[in-house]
């Protein structure tokens, strides 16, 4: 909160006394100008305090909703008003989380990972700042896992060298038969994406939250399906801002649904 310091008040009183001495006319003191200056200074100080407090409160409420971009904008305005260590800390951390979340939604996992790493390493001193550091620490392994999955998905499997034409054909036939047998067994017990999606919808109770949407994101390292549940600020527009509700995994064998973070 920005206030007039003791030094500033002392200077103001000293100036006020000098002004009184300079404006003595036949024993009558002319106070108008002095009172007006003091009044304006007090009003200005009150306006700065109100603006700072209102922007800090707005930023904290946006943090509770995990709207990090809106929180960053509010803390930035508060910092411009007060330039306090707390407003600077919250402005920096909310900016890193907003950037990381945006890059993650755009599947730029490597860049998102760097933002989360920087936020995790931030030496936070205030409660709200420490909570954002914890959030970044939760997101860091998620982005790291997504990066690994993306890299593995882009790798091409190199074919083995053929020994003989007849030998390779025989191996292909045998492999096809074996895969067919295994595939029929797996198809009987494996969980499809659509089935997993339904399990997540039931788990989140999306039937009672019509504004929520769900999408398949990737397969985890152990093979579990990972789904992203979110809401869109403006559903009628494709470019509407996504707000994450949660990340959920589904075990293909046990059909267990769990929260990723």
For the segment 87-116, the average pLDDT, to the nearest whole number, is 92
38-45 contact pairs (CB < 8 A, 24+): 38/12, 41/4, 41/12, 45/2, 45/3, 45/4
Which residues in 187-196 are b (16+ Cβ under 10 Å) and which e?
eeeebeeeeb
Identify the three-state secondary structure at position 123: coil
CA-based torsion, 183, 189, 195, 200: positive or negative: negative
Question: Does residue 21 have a pLDDT over 80?
Answer: no
H/E element, 69: helix 68-82
pLDDT at 27 over 50: no
| pLDDT at 42 (0 to 100) | 45
Do the bridges between strand 257-259 and strand 242-250 make them parallel or antiparallel, or are there none, so unpaired? antiparallel
Predicted pLDDT at 156 = 47
In sequence order, what are the residues at sequence separation of 6 or more whose Cβ sits closer than 8 angstroms to the Cβ of residue 252? 190, 191, 196, 223, 224, 225
Is the pLDDT assigned to residue 30 strictly greater than 80? no
User: What's the average model confidence in pLDDT over 188-215?
Assistant: 87
Predicted confidence (pLDDT) at residue 131 exceeds the cutoff of 70: yes
Judge contact between 104 and 146, C-beta under 8 A: yes
User: What integer pLDDT is reported at residue 148 of this predicted model?
Assistant: 54
Query: Cα separations (Å) of 200 from 66, 118, 194, 208, 230?
Result: 21, 32, 10, 13, 12
């Amino acid at each position: 909160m920005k206030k007039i310091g003791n030094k500033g008040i002392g200077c103001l009183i000293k100036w006020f006394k000098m002004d009184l001495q300079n404006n003595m006319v036949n024993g009558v003191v002319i106070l108008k100008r002095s009172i007006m200056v003091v009044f304006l200074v007090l009003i200005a100080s009150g306006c700065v305090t109100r603006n700072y407090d209102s922007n800090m409160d707005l930023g904290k409420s946006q943090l509770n909703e995990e709207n990090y971009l809106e929180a960053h904008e509010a803390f930035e305005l508060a910092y411009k008003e007060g330039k306090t260590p707390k407003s600077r800390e919250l402005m920096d951390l909310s900016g890193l989380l907003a950037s990381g979340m945006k890059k993650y939604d755009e599947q730029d996992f490597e860049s998102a990972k760097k933002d989360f790493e920087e936020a995790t390493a931030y030496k936070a001193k205030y409660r709200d700042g420490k909570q954002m550091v914890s959030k970044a620490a939760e997101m860091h392994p998620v982005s790291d896992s997504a990066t690994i999955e993306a890299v593995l998905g882009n790798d091409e499997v190199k074919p083995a060298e053929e020994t003989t034409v007849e030998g390779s054909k025989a191996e292909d036939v045998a492999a096809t038969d074996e895969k067919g047998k295994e595939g029929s067994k797996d198809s009987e017990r494996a969980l499809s994406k659509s089935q997993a999606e339904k399990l997540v919808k039931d788990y989140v109770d999306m039937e009672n939250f019509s504004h929520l949407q769900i999408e398949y994101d990737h397969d985890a390292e152990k093979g579990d399906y990972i789904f992203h549940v979110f809401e869109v600020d403006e559903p009628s527009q494709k470019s509407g801002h996504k707000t994450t509700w949660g990340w959920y995994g589904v075990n293909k064998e046990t059909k267990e649904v769990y929260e990723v973070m």
